[in-house]
């Protein structure tokens, strides 16, 4: 395999200027940030592949919720007000005939630990949390049950070959893709092989996750990996899934994708 230099950053915002200045060639970023970046830089970056589908789950300390319909009349504690978690939840509720403003109570917290502490204290029984935090939370609250997988619930609202819930994508600078098409092809291919390896070798991958400091304990990482939707989807399939997802965000909040839907130049469709 080729050799790549990796750097982990605490926040996606740190990556943006480095990409714009050309100090990074590729970056794994949230899907909506990629669209915003494309709009801001007049198309200087393109999305090479989807690397993570949805990681949001409805968890419950109880047995009430077995379908989206069961959320009607309930209080859901979550993070991400004015950000993608809110829009995803609203979309899935609305598509299931539930009015997010009237039929449910959405209670926002500033971070996932705070949402969990409300459940632990018995102030709430239902929360929407991301992986790998869900797995960490289950070590503290063994009765916490994963009630709904929002990636699956999103899929159920779509026609055949529709959009997907997308968390992360890999973007590359357009200049790099155009000047090094062979290297770009190889990068996407190896990206795919690495995603396959992680999902097939969970225990070994978990050791690497712990070594990189992403999750402290490898056994928790090993439990979480199967629920983290690690993929490598490129080409037309990526375009269909991602454009539909961005469209759903755009309809709720145009600024979430940078004010306008990215045009076709956003999608790197190699030969």
pLDDT of res. 2 = 77
**How far apart are alpha carbons 75 and 27 in whole angstroms?**
36
**How far apart are alpha carbons 247 and 239 in whole angstroms?**
12
Ramachandran assignment for 97, one of left (phi > 0), alpha (psi -120 to 50 degrees), beta (any other): left
Phi–psi pair at 116, nearest 5 degrees: -65, -40
Over the stretch 199-257, which tens digit does the pLDDT of each residue have?
999 999 999 999 998 888 999 999 999 999 999 999 999 999 999 999 999 999 999 99
Contacts of 73 (CB under 8 A, 6+ apart): 103, 104
- Rounded average pLDDT over 126-135: 96
Q: The pTM is what?
A: 0.95
How big is the chain by its Cα radius of gyration, in Å? 19
């Amino acid at each position: 395999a080729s050799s790549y230099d990796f750097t982990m950053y605490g926040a996606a915002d740190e990556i943006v200027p480095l990409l714009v200045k050309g100090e990074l060639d590729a970056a794994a970023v949230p899907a909506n940030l990629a669209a915003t970046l494309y709009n801001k830089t007049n198309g200087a970056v393109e999305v090479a592949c989807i690397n993570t589908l949805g990681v949001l789950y409805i968890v419950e300390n109880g047995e009430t919720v077995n379908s989206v319909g069961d959320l009607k009349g309930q209080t859901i504690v979550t993070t991400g007000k004015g950000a993608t978690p809110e829009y995803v939840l609203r979309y899935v509720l609305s598509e299931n005939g539930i009015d997010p403003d009237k039929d449910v109570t959405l209670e926002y917290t500033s971070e996932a630990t705070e949402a969990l502490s409300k459940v632990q204290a018995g102030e709430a029984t239902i929360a929407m949390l991301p992986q790998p935090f869900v797995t960490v939370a289950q070590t503290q609250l063994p009765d916490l049950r994963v009630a709904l997988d929002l990636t699956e619930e999103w899929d159920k609202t779509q026609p055949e070959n529709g959009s997907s819930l997308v968390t992360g994508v890999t973007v590359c600078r357009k200049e790099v893709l155009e000047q090094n098409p062979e290297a770009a092809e190889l990068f996407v291919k190896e990206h795919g092989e690495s995603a396959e390896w992680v999902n097939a070798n969970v225990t070994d991958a978990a050791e690497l996750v712990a070594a990189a400091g992403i999750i402290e304990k490898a056994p928790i990482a090993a439990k979480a990996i199967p629920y983290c939707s690690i993929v490598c989807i490129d080409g037309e399939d990526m375009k269909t899934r991602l454009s539909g997802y961005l469209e759903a965000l755009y309809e709720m909040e145009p600024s979430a994708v940078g004010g306008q839907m990215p045009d076709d130049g956003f999608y790197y469709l190699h030969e």
